[in-house]
Structures are given as C-alpha cells and as structure tokens.
A and B are shown apart, each in its own frame.
Chain A
Amino acid sequence: MAVFQLKINGEIHNVQAESDTPLLWVLRDNLGYVGTKYGCGIGQCGACTVHVDGVATRSCLLLVSQIQGMEITTIEGLSENGDHPVQEAWKEVDVPQCGYCQPGQIMTASAFLENNTNPSDSDIKSAMQGNICRCASYKRIEKAVKVAAKKLS
C-alpha cells in the first residue's frame, strides 16, 4: 500500500490505499465524505460525481493514484453552509424523493452551470442525462437547474 497526497475540499489529506482504489471508495471509506454515492461503479449512473479541477467527474472511474495534485471538490465542499445556488434551488423546488442520487445530480449541475448560466431546455437535458434518478425526479431536476441558472446569472 502506498500513501497518496490528495487535495479535497481545500484540505490536504495523506491517504494510505492500494493504488487501484477508485477515488469514490477513498472518499467514502478512508475520509468519511459519504455524500459521494456508490451506484454502479462503472460510470453509468453519476451518483459518485465530484469536481476534479472544476470538471464534473465520475469518482468511481478515477483511481487514487491518478489524482495527485488535482483539486477535488465533493458535495461536502460545494459550499460552506449548504447554500450554493444549486443547493438553494434544489431546496426551493423540493427535488428529492429518496434523495440518494441528488448529491451527484447537484455536482453535475453546478459544474455545468459554471460554464453556461443561460441554458436551454435541451442543454439541461444533455448535461444531466448521465445522472440516473431511480425515483425519476427528473422534471424537478430540470426546473431546479433553471432556477439555479437564474440565481447564478
């Protein structure tokens, strides 16, 4: 096992892990950032989405050995008080049903809106289509992304 230095939510962590361990499990099991969820392990569901240098990335496909020197942001680090405009929008629209996929949805949406604060309906659908919501709260996700876009612009 090797030691990896990771920068997560602005803090440096030294993590001892096997080099093939996905970032997802390092976050959840080694560091206790359980807001990053496991859904499929093969990059199909988006529940484990984090920001890597600002880009929405599936943490289940990223190995701990590949990310040294990169800035990782998890749902816990998206805002200090849970008040990022996307989180606020999620609250306003009352998006979650079971809620399990929502941190991943929020991480995808927040990275997307960084680069597009005036998205069309089809922009939103194509940006969010990698994230599965098994409860199918999709209509409210669409609405919340629009609300968040307004807050950000």
Chain B
Amino acid sequence: MKTNNKYNFSRRSFLKTSTLASGGMLIGFNLFNACKPEVEPPIDLSLLNYNDFNAFIKISDDGKVTIFSPNPEIGQGVKTSMPMLIAEELDVAWKDVQVVQGILDTKNYSRQVAGGSQSIRSGWEPLRQTGATTRQMLVNAAATRWNISPSECKTKEGVITNSNGDKLGYGEVVKEAALLEVPEDYKLKDPKDFTIIGKDAINVDMAKIITGKPLYGLDYKVEGMLIASVLRPPAFGQVLESFDDTNVRALPNVKNVVKFGNKIAVLATDTWSAMKGKNALKAVWKQDSQAESTIFHDEKLLELLNGEKFETLRKDGDVKKAFAEADKVLERVFETPFLPHNCLEPMNFFAHVQTDKIELVGPIQTPEWTANRVATLLGRDVNEITLQMTRMGGGFGRRLYGDFALEAAEVSHLAKAPVKVVFSREDDMSAGTYKPAIKYKISASIKDNKVTGYHLKEAAVNGNMYGLIPNFFPAGSIENYQVDVANYQSNITTGAWRAPYTNFLASAEQSFFDELAEVLETDRIKLHIDLLQKAKGSTDERMQYSPERLEAVINKVVEKSNWGKVKEGIYQGFSVYYCHNTHVAEVADIEMENGFPIIKKVTCAVDCGIVVNPTGAKNQVVGGILDGIGHAMYGDLTFVDGIPQSNNFNSFQLIRINQTPEVDVHFIESNEAPTGLGEPTLPPVGGAIVNAIYAATGQRLTNQPYINNLKLEELAG
C-alpha cells in the first residue's frame, strides 16, 4: 500500500515569488503542479504583482507571516492544520502566523476541494516543500548579505543566525530573498525536529467564532443585496404548472418574483420578508414522474437484492463453488434509510452576475466545479468568475453539490441584482441530495469451521459503492470473495454523505462478523486477527489497507477498552474498519438502565499516521463517532408520494448532548505520512454499538435507525 505521497515537481515551476508593492514577499505554488505542465513559471519575476496569482505565503517587512489556506473549511479543521504544515518548514513561530482563506484560483492551487478526507494527505508533501523552499530562499538572502555559505546559517522562529553571532529576521531579508532564484537544495525537517506539527493549535478562527463575527455565507452582505427565498416542487417527481404571485408582489420589502425552471424565487430586502413571500406564493404542481414512497423503495431494493442482475465489482476465486461446498452458510440482510445532511448553516450562496464579471461568494466544498458549472449555465467564460469561499457551518458532503450556487447565479442573472439565495431549514431538508437508501445482503460460507467464501451484494438508490471500496477489508483476507451491486434509479436526488457507502457498509459488515464469530464459536478479535494474517504480504495491486496497521489498532483498542475484562453489567461491542486511508478500531460499552441499553463509552484507536494537530484531530475523531452514533440510532428520512416526511428538527432527530457517551481516543504513534480524519471514525461505530447491544440484549439489529429496530417489549421482559 502507498502511505508516502511523494510528488515529482518541477520545482522551478511550482514556486513563484514576487516583491510586494507594500513591501514583503509573496510565494505561491501549484499543488500537484506535475499534473499541470501547462502552467509555466513567469519569466520575469519582477513583473509579478499580488494580483497575478494567489499565494500561500506572505511575509511582511516586520516579519509577520500570512499563510493562505487553499482548501474549503467545513469544520474539519484544515484552515488550521494545512497552514501548520507550511509554518513548520518555514520555521516560524505559530503565534506569528495569520491564516487567511484563499480564494478559488485554479492557476495556482489544485484540488481546492473538501471531500474524501484528502486535504491533509494530499497537502502533506507539497505544503511542507513550499515552507522549506521559502525558508531556504530567506537563508540564501541572509548568507549573501553576510557573504558566507547558506550552510553556515541556522533558522529558528523566523530569525536567521550564523556562527559569528549575527542575526536577521525574515522580514529584514524578505525583499532580497524575493529576487533570488528558487532553490532546489532545500531540506525537509526530520519529524523529530518538528515544533508545530504534533502540537495542539486551536482553531484559527476561534476569536471570531466565539464573538459572533461574520464568517459564514449566511453572514455575507453587500450593499443592495436582495435575499431570495426559493419555492421548489414539494414532492420529487413534480413540476411547476402555473403560479400566482399577485399578492406576493404587494408584500412589504418584496422587490421581485422570478421563475426559473420549476422554481420560483421571491426577492426581498430581508430574509424574513423573502421567506414570507415564498410561503404566500400560490403554485400549482403536476406529477411528471413517479411519486415514490419508502414502501416502494424497500420493495424495489429487496427485489434487486434477491434478483440476478448485478454488476460485479470484485471477484476473487470462486464464491459459487465455496458456497456449494460449504458445511454452513450465514446470510443476513442489512438496511439503511435516506438521510439528509442537515448542515446547521442551511444552504445559501451569493451571486452577482454582471455584464463583465460574475462574483460568487459562499459556502462550497467544490469551488472549481461550481464556477465551471455557473459559467456553462449562463454561457459565460469561467475567467469572468471570481469565487470566494466562506467558512462553512458544516458540509458532510452536502456542499459538494453547488445546486444552491447555481440557483443564486440564475436568479441574479434574471433579476439583474446582487442576490443571496437562502434556504429555510424546511427547504434544506426537503431539497434532496440525500444519502441514498441502501440494502446489503452479506453471505459467508463455512467449511471445516473456517470462512471459505464471502459474498457482498448491494442494492442502492441511484448509485453504488465506487472506487476502491470493494477492495477494503475483508477483501484480500478471504480466498473466495465477490462484491456485486445493483441500483434503482429514483427521481429523489442523492449524493455523498460523510463517508459515502462505508458509513453503513462498515456497520453491516462488522455486525455480520460479530455473528460469524459466534457461528464459528471463536472470539471476535481472534477472527479478525486470523483473517488479517492471510492478507499480510499480499502483492495484490488492489490492496488498500495495511493488515499490520489494522492489527495494531485492534490490539490497541483491546488494551485500552479493557476488552473482555470489564466489570459485570458492562456489555462490549467491537468493530474495526479501514477507509479514507485511515485505520480505526472501536469498542462500545453499553449498560442496561431501566431495561434499556445505554451507550456509556466508546474507546477508539486510530492510525492516521503523523497527527498534525492533536486537538483538532481528536475533535474530528470524537465528532465522527458521535455523529455516527446519532445517525445510526435515530436518523430516518422516509417518503410518502415523493414528499419527505421530515422537514425540520422537530421531525428529524439529531443526536443531542444528553445522548452522548464518553469517548476515549488513542492515536497510534507513527512516522508515516498523515491521512485524513473527517470521515474514517464514523463508519465503524455503528458496528460497535449494535454488537454491544447484542451482547447486552441478545437482539441483533440490522436495520437503521437502530432505535426503531430494537424490540422494546422484549427488553421489558
């Protein structure tokens, strides 16, 4: 497996420097420049100015450092942790660093995306290289001034020294440094010399968050901006037939009503007036395609799961033969419903479409894709578009889709005004792009008390598991192994939801393994360890996880959770999973209170390589686990005739503080390159809790939300 991300840059082209008119130096570079050979370095560095590119580092004459963070911040903490990587190698004090959110800049940044837990993993090498190269340029400038070799210079916290006792601050040599050739002989630090990476750095936006300063898309405002509240079809499968806005146009503060596609936007000078106006619209809808209900989806998916029409995503050995020769077969079906993302900041976006330019501002996980789509939608050149990302009140995958930005652009274009589209909570929960409903059928064949075959079948709405997921554990550890998928195309829109597919697949598989261990009359831990031995030393190119690292997190969680040695009355459930390049094992502890199973504690062992920012990392790990528990236990979005049956927090239950167990987190000490944490602790927790519930109650829960699957009357005795 690949854990080290080594990129081959043409270093001469990835760095660009420029002296600032106001004094100081800017350094920019292209992430993954190797993939973009068309980006040429500027021939005359002195011709550059700030507007030529968007940079990563700005050093002022007084030595203050500004680092531009390229990737969208959705609460995963990259606005803190990515600049830490640069600051480490630049060798400045973290307290002297100011972090600013970079804008969309496809020429100078790449992969400005928040998704797949990839920001830190992708940025690890190039961001440190940027810091190190810049440091070397500053050293070279000091060495030239002192007329000594750069190798005789040292740096610490933004100060360059030499053996004669001379000192120069970065700010004192920054102008000279900016005129130098970009060096290729920089050196990255040995991890043991890290002073920033591996130390707690609190959220860089802390002061603004806790004092309520404008940070989020919903807080953005410009002179003359109108708020647009949009009426969308109330049911999936419906289209707009006609509408009457006479009363609406007469309402105070309402300035315009704009129909676009099957939607109608009410534009007002304030949010409340816009929302009231939208609610006062009289619209007639007609059914254009099937009105689907949850019962219908359940039938369709079960039909697919029990049918023959599958696409095979991975096939090792001969599953059919293994099952034919088996002494025993275990087969179970697992089900999960649709889920909305429910970012606490509802979807919103600002657009000002003008004849010569388009300004877009707001919360978006995919700025580049969104700018391109707006350009296509309006028939404009993408170079006319500027896009500024705001801090986001949650993402969870929802803000990958940009539908709200396209709406804002279209409404602004039609209304010829600066417009911010604002979703009400009801709009947000009803507008689609949900986690799709999925069912799994998992079967295992047993021969001579050994697992000989494993067959995973998936039936899902709209799309199936993709990419590398079929190669995750237990792939590679069972000789005969097959993954088959089928899907039903619905008019209900679906999309990525924190750890797509694996967010439920891990629960299903880890619940299945718990029962499998029981059938085999073996210990749950031993079953996993034994399987992993078979995967060790694999030369299969498809191999994703490291059996050694999975084994290490299992051993760690066994030790830290006191597995099998807890006092009477505590029931434990075990789960282990690999996804998003990170290895995680979890144990849930449950106690029965008044005849009801209560999750008291989750112990978690994580191997994400080097932990860049321990406080931020722990926040992600704990948040992922609690989010996973909440949605696995309570999350449920059903449909009747295409209408979502929940549209606010009185009809959709999110986990609250009084429902949260203690979470005990242990990171594996590692010198491996870091991997992401936004998603990987969520998938396994569902398995840990259902396995603990089984230990406590004897009930095997297979269908989410688990709370609905629990037979309470049996618990009462």
Binding site for B on A (CB under 8 A): 1, 18, 21-22, 25, 28-30, 32-42, 44-45, 47, 74-76, 78, 82, 87, 90-91, 94, 96-103, 106, 124-126, 128-129, 131-142
- Starting from the known contacts A21-B270, A36-B212, A98-B392, 9 additional A-B residue pairs (CB-CB under 8 Å) come to A21-B272, A28-B271, A37-B393, A44-B648, A76-B211, A82-B211, A102-B209, A135-B75, A138-B626
Measured between alpha carbons, how far is A142 from B656 in the docked complex, in Å? 12
Residues of A within 8 A of B392 (CB): 98
Task: Write the nearest CB–CB distance from A75 to chain B, whole angstroms.
Answer: 4
Q: Which has the most chain B C-beta neighbours within 10 Å: A96, A100, A132?
A: A100
- Identify the closest chain B residue to A42 (Cβ): B648
Q: Does B630 contact A (CB under 8 A)?
A: yes
Residues of A within 8 A of B344 (CB): 37, 39, 45, 47, 98, 100-101, 132-134
Q: Does B207 contact A (CB under 8 A)?
A: yes
Residues of A within 8 A of B342 (CB): 134
Residues of B within 8 A of A35 (CB): 211-213
Q: A21-B272, A138-B657 are in contact. Are A99 and B215 (CB under 8 A)?
A: yes
Contact-residue size bin, chain B (C-beta under 8 Å from the other chain): 35 or more
Interface residues of B in 639-668 (CB under 8 A from A): 648-650, 654-658, 660, 662-663
Task: Write the nearest CB–CB distance from B79 to chain A, whole angstroms.
Answer: 11
Residues of A within 8 A of B77 (CB): 97
- Contacting chain A: which of B37-45, B401-409, B615-623? B615-623
| The one of A28, A34, A102, A128 that contacts B210, using a Cβ cutoff of 8 Å | A102
- 10 A-B pairs closest in CB distance: A35-B212, A98-B75, A100-B393, A136-B626, A75-B212, A99-B209, A44-B649, A97-B75, A25-B272, A29-B270
Task: Write the nearest CB–CB distance from A44 to chain B, whole angstroms.
Answer: 4
Q: A21-B272, A100-B344 are in contact. Are A136 and B210 (CB under 8 A)?
A: no
Q: Does B200 contact A (CB under 8 A)?
A: yes
Q: Does B205 contact A (CB under 8 A)?
A: yes
Residues of B within 8 A of A45 (CB): 344, 649
- Identify the closest chain B residue to A131 (Cβ): B657
Q: A33-B212, A100-B216 are in contact. Are A132 and B649 (CB under 8 A)?
A: yes
A25 touches B623 (CB 8 A): no
| The one of A37, A76, A94, A129 that contacts B658, using a Cβ cutoff of 8 Å | A129
Q: Which has the most chain B C-beta neighbours within 10 Å: A36, A96, A124?
A: A96
Measured between alpha carbons, how far is A4 from B219 in the docked complex, in Å? 23
A34 touches B212 (CB 8 A): yes
Q: Does B425 contact A (CB under 8 A)?
A: yes
A128 touches B657 (CB 8 A): yes
Measured between alpha carbons, how far is A17 from B650 in the docked complex, in Å? 28
Task: Write the nearest CB–CB distance from A109 to chain B, whole angstroms.
Answer: 11
Q: A82-B207, A139-B663 are in contact. Are A100 and B658 (CB under 8 A)?
A: no
Residues of A within 8 A of B75 (CB): 96-100, 135
Measured between alpha carbons, how far is A25 from B632 in the docked complex, in Å? 34
Measured between alpha carbons, how far is A38 from B393 in the docked complex, in Å? 11
- Identify the closest chain B residue to A134 (Cβ): B344
Task: Write the nearest CB–CB distance from B247 to chain A, whole angstroms.
Answer: 15
Task: Write the nearest CB–CB distance from B159 to chain A, whole angstroms.
Answer: 28
Q: Does B346 contact A (CB under 8 A)?
A: yes
Interface residues of B in 368-413 (CB under 8 A from A): 391-396
Interface residues of B in 209-242 (CB under 8 A from A): 209-216, 218-219, 221, 227
Q: A1-B252, A44-B649, A138-B626 are in contact. Are A98 and B74 (CB under 8 A)?
A: yes
Measured between alpha carbons, how far is A33 from B213 in the docked complex, in Å? 8
A103 touches B210 (CB 8 A): yes
Task: Write the nearest CB–CB distance from A151 to chain B, whole angstroms.
Answer: 14
Residues of A within 8 A of B73 (CB): 98
Q: Does B3 contact A (CB under 8 A)?
A: no
Q: Does B716 contact A (CB under 8 A)?
A: no
Q: Would you mind naming 6 contact pairs between A and B with Cβ atoms under 8 Å apart?
A: A37-B345, A75-B210, A91-B210, A132-B656, A134-B344, A140-B622
Measured between alpha carbons, how far is A104 from B658 in the docked complex, in Å? 17
Measured between alpha carbons, how far is A111 from B619 in the docked complex, in Å? 25
Task: Write the nearest CB–CB distance from B248 to chain A, whole angstroms.
Answer: 14
Residues of B within 8 A of A136 (CB): 622-623, 626-627, 630, 655, 660
Measured between alpha carbons, how far is A43 from B346 in the docked complex, in Å? 15
Q: Does B273 contact A (CB under 8 A)?
A: yes
Residues of A within 8 A of B324 (CB): none
Q: A34-B214, A35-B211, A98-B344 are in contact. Are A22 and B272 (CB under 8 A)?
A: yes
What is the 8 Å Cβ interface bit string for chain B, positions 594-625, against chain A (1 contact, 0 not)? 00000000000000000000011001101100
Measured between alpha carbons, how far is A28 from B221 in the docked complex, in Å? 10
Q: A94-B200, A131-B657 are in contact. Are A18 and B210 (CB under 8 A)?
A: no
Q: Does B188 contact A (CB under 8 A)?
A: no
A134 touches B660 (CB 8 A): no
Measured between alpha carbons, how far is A8 from B664 in the docked complex, in Å? 42
Q: Does B424 contact A (CB under 8 A)?
A: yes
Q: Which has the most chain B C-beta neighbours within 10 Å: A32, A40, A45?
A: A40
A44 touches B650 (CB 8 A): yes
Residues of B within 8 A of A140 (CB): 619, 622
Q: A18-B272, A98-B391 are in contact. Are A91 and B654 (CB under 8 A)?
A: no
Residues of B within 8 A of A18 (CB): 252-253, 272-273, 276
A40 touches B649 (CB 8 A): yes
Measured between alpha carbons, how far is A103 from B218 in the docked complex, in Å? 14
B425 touches A97 (CB 8 A): no
Residues of A within 8 A of B627 (CB): 134-136
- Identify the closest chain B residue to A74 (Cβ): B212
A40 touches B660 (CB 8 A): no
A90 touches B210 (CB 8 A): yes
Residues of B within 8 A of A133 (CB): 344, 657
Residues of B within 8 A of A78 (CB): 211
Q: Does B343 contact A (CB under 8 A)?
A: yes
- Identify the closest chain A residue to B614 (Cβ): A94
A29 touches B394 (CB 8 A): no
Measured between alpha carbons, how far is A90 from B209 in the docked complex, in Å? 10
B206 touches A135 (CB 8 A): no
Measured between alpha carbons, how far is A45 from B656 in the docked complex, in Å? 10
Residues of A within 8 A of B649 (CB): 39-40, 42, 44-45, 132
Measured between alpha carbons, how far is A139 from B662 in the docked complex, in Å? 7
Measured between alpha carbons, how far is A40 from B219 in the docked complex, in Å? 16
B619 touches A137 (CB 8 A): yes
